[in-house]
Amino acid sequence: MAEPLRVGIAGLGTVGASVIRLLERQGAALAARSGRAVKVTAVSARDKSRDRGVDVSNMVWFDDPVALAKSSDIDLFVELIGGDEGPARAAIEAALSSGKSVVTANKALLAKHGMALAKMAEDKRVALAFEASVAGGIPIVKTLREGLAGNAISRVYGILNGTCNYILSRMELEGLSFEECLKDAQRLGYAEADPTFDIGGFDTAHKLAILTSLAFGTAVDAEAVHVEGIQSITLADLKAAEELGYRIKLLGVAQRTDKGIEQRVHPTMVPKSSSIAEVMGVTNAVTIDADAVKELTLVGPGAGGMATASAVVADIADIAKGIRSAPFGLPSSALEKASRIPVQRHEGGYYIRLTVHDRPGAAAAIATRMAERQISLESIMQRKPVPKRGAAASASTEAVPVVLITYATSESTIREALEAVVKDGYIAGAPQVIRIERE
């Protein structure tokens, strides 16, 4: 058997400790499959004295991850520190410069510096592997890069953030407020250190930028992603969606259109009959539309120590076997520049919720504004007035929720029509607009 592969791990949080445990547990099987033992020989973390439930006493300890990355005690550097700059970036660059392969779970760093790092890895003829960076335990990177190599992909979309899906699922199923669900997600350890990353859609955007590159052969460009978070979603929207046969999910969508590759992250209405609609809680899911395979959906744990460690260990196993793919599937010089398509040019169906002053002519005026722009309505639903607490308001002046579902049209057309509706003076407050993603 060949010499053992000596692994150095920087970052001993939940994922780092799980990688050590998993390598111990699967050590014999991994060695048999790779023809080579895998041994963690060195580690680095902030606090040496902390008990992480794993024995690191026989590993060389480094306070500085960059020193670990450069060390001759290791052949492979595993970065689990996080952050798109600082020690994570410095350590990965040091490892690649010194000719070592790198495994990372760091989506934010790849979204920002993925191209430069891929180029460095190619120049040094070493691997840069990142299965754990998108959708945790779901092997989506390998699926897109290797498993679907014989396909032309037309769309990739998915639930890529467990925190958002957990919040939307609990709001829908238990009628809880957004704030309550977010607090629970944080208490259970699903949310990122800064929850805006999750709920604002940025974590999903980072992951989507990586998937787009793998699926469409474009350079990773997180700036090309249109991003909206879930903060504006109310219980009224979730209830209306349910009645109309939809669920609301925060989706990342990358789609080939005649204008280029659209990349967008936003709350989305998905038909309840779709595979993705059934995915509840912290679970992630990715659906791929491709010519040969048609539709493929992968569902699984998107976060958590062992699930993420599963992806990290899969990358380590590839490197132990001597497999070195171009990080994003093509040599970095062959990746095309991603198009930046303004969301106004998006075409699709729309859900619109208006709060309408209940007066004769209101519904007709709204319908006219839509018809003037050739927007065709699939359904229109008016609800009884929401009773105001403690006040017996007169029915004639009360505002009522009106929900419209449109057939496919363009975003700019919808926005123009709504501007006209607002000017007509029949509605109170800003319209709620949610894009529909069809199967």
CB of 211 to ligand HSE, least distance (A): 13
Out of 79, 198, 411, 437, the only residue in the binding site for ligand HSE (CB under 6 A) is: 198
Tell whether residue 161 is a contact of ligand HSE (CB under 6 A). yes
Q: Is 119 considered catalytic here?
A: no
Tell whether residue 203 is a contact of ligand HSE (CB under 6 A). yes
Q: What does the radius of gyration of the chain's CA atoms come to, in whole angstroms?
A: 25
Say how far apart CA 140 and CA 132 lie, in whole Å. 9
CB of 207 to ligand HSE, least distance (A): 7
CB of 261 to ligand HSE, least distance (A): 23
CB of 260 to ligand HSE, least distance (A): 27
Residues 263-302: x where in contact with ligand HSE by CB under 6 A, - otherwise, as a string: ---------------------------------------x
- How much helix, strand and coil, in percent to the nearest 5, is found in the chain? 40, 25, 35
Say how far apart CA 261 and CA 216 lie, in whole Å. 8
Segment contacting ligand HSE by CB under 6 A, of 115-123, 186-194, 233-241, 371-379: 186-194
Tell whether residue 190 is a contact of ligand HSE (CB under 6 A). yes
Tell whether residue 348 is a contact of ligand HSE (CB under 6 A). no
Residue with tokens 């699939």: 378
Tell whether residue 192 is a contact of ligand HSE (CB under 6 A). yes
β-pair type (2-10, 36-44): parallel
Say how far apart CA 367 and CA 373 lie, in whole Å. 10
- For 321, residues 6+ apart whose C-beta sits below 8 A from its C-beta are 33, 34, 35, 36
Q: Name the 3-class secondary structure at 413.
A: helix
Say how far apart CA 18 and CA 193 lie, in whole Å. 19
Which 127-156 residues touch ligand HSE, going by CB under 6 A? Answer: 136
β-pair type (76-79, 2-10): parallel
Out of 44, 104, 163, 332, the only residue in the binding site for ligand HSE (CB under 6 A) is: 163
CB of 198 to ligand HSE, least distance (A): 5
> For residues 15 and 23, is the Cβ–Cβ distance under 8 A?
no
Given the residues 107, 142, 207, 249, select the one marked as catalytic. Answer: 207
The nearer residue to ligand HSE, 34 or 204, going by C-beta atoms, is: 204
Out of 56, 156, 303, 319, the only residue in the binding site for ligand HSE (CB under 6 A) is: 303
CB of 189 to ligand HSE, least distance (A): 9
The nearer residue to ligand HSE, 139 or 349, going by C-beta atoms, is: 139
Tell whether residue 191 is a contact of ligand HSE (CB under 6 A). yes
CA distances from 181 to 142, 169, 282, 301 (A): 33, 9, 12, 19
Q: How many helices (H) and strands (E) does the chain have?
A: 14, 17
**Token pair belonging to 168:** 């939307």
Tell whether residue 327 is a contact of ligand HSE (CB under 6 A). no
> For residues 95 and 6, is the Cβ–Cβ distance under 8 A?
no
β-pair type (294-301, 260-271): unpaired
The nearer residue to ligand HSE, 122 or 203, going by C-beta atoms, is: 203
Total residues in contact with ligand HSE, by rule CB under 6 A? 11
Catalytic residues: 207
Residues lying near ligand HSE in the complex (CB under 6 A): 136, 161-163, 190-192, 198, 203, 302-303
